[in-house]
Chain A
Amino acid sequence: QVQLVESGGGVVQPGGSLRLSCAASGFTFSSYGMHWVRQAPGKGLEWVAFIRYDGSNKYYADSVKGRFTISRDNSKNTLYLQMNSLRAEDTAVYYCAKDRQGDYDYWGQGTLVTVSS
């Protein structure tokens, strides 16, 4: 069965950096695009970033462009999100999700990122 397991969340000061990971199993990771989607506490869902199956194209929400970088290692079945210049408004649960042509058919359990001094 498809499994996505995020890690790397934690508490970081404003302006700091964090790298999230998402370990995938149960499907051919190298054949699918992958997303990061976040949810601020008590709020709705916000798409963050997408990477194509082979890493050839990457897309970002305007709110994170220039600060976040999505990447993948298909040899390790792992998705990454490098987050720099973090702000209080980046505080959220970050989910990785498997792409189904622009929507999301499988989600991880999420990892909490808290940006606070």
Chain B
Amino acid sequence: EIVLTQSPATLSLSPGERATLSCRASQSVSSYLAWYQQKPGQAPRLLIYDASNRATGIPARFSGSGSGTDFTLTISSLEPEDFAVYYCQQRSNWPPRVTFGPGTKVDIK
């Protein structure tokens, strides 16, 4: 099973700052990596798919990069609504295997 590791576990930043979140896979997942945002009491929302493609309606301040085993989600300038938990997910062995990372919480400094 492919294991995803996310770092840091918590990122404390102020609005307007740049956020850089990391996701590392235990083996290559090519570009089959997605990022989701989840706010308290809400369902996850797809932000990025296939490592670098923004999903419908996602603001341009969100960008994804990477391939193989190392991936990054960047939020160029944090807005108040961006403070949330972010999960990465790989689908390289789909179907049926997918795995999620443990999440990175971005909170207000």
Contacts and interface: CB of A to CB of B under 8 A. Distances in A.
Interface of A: 44-47, 50, 57, 59-60, 95, 100-110
Interface residues of B, number: 23
A102 B100 contact: no
B103 A104 contact: no
A44 B89 CA distance: 11
23 contacts: A44-B87, A44-B101, A45-B100, A46-B100, A47-B98, A47-B99, A50-B95, A50-B96, A59-B95, A60-B96, A95-B43, A100-B46, A100-B49, A102-B32, A102-B98, A103-B34, A103-B98, A104-B34, A104-B46, A105-B46, A105-B49, A105-B55, A106-B46
Closest 7 A/B residue pairs (Cβ): A102-B94, A102-B91, A59-B96, A107-B43, A103-B34, A45-B100, A47-B98
B45 interface: yes
A103 B46 contact: yes
B43 A103 contact: no
A44 B102 contact: yes
Given A102-B91, A104-B34, 18 more contacts: A44-B87, A45-B44, A46-B100, A47-B98, A47-B99, A50-B96, A59-B96, A60-B96, A100-B46, A102-B32, A102-B95, A102-B98, A103-B91, A104-B36, A104-B44, A107-B44, A107-B45, A110-B43
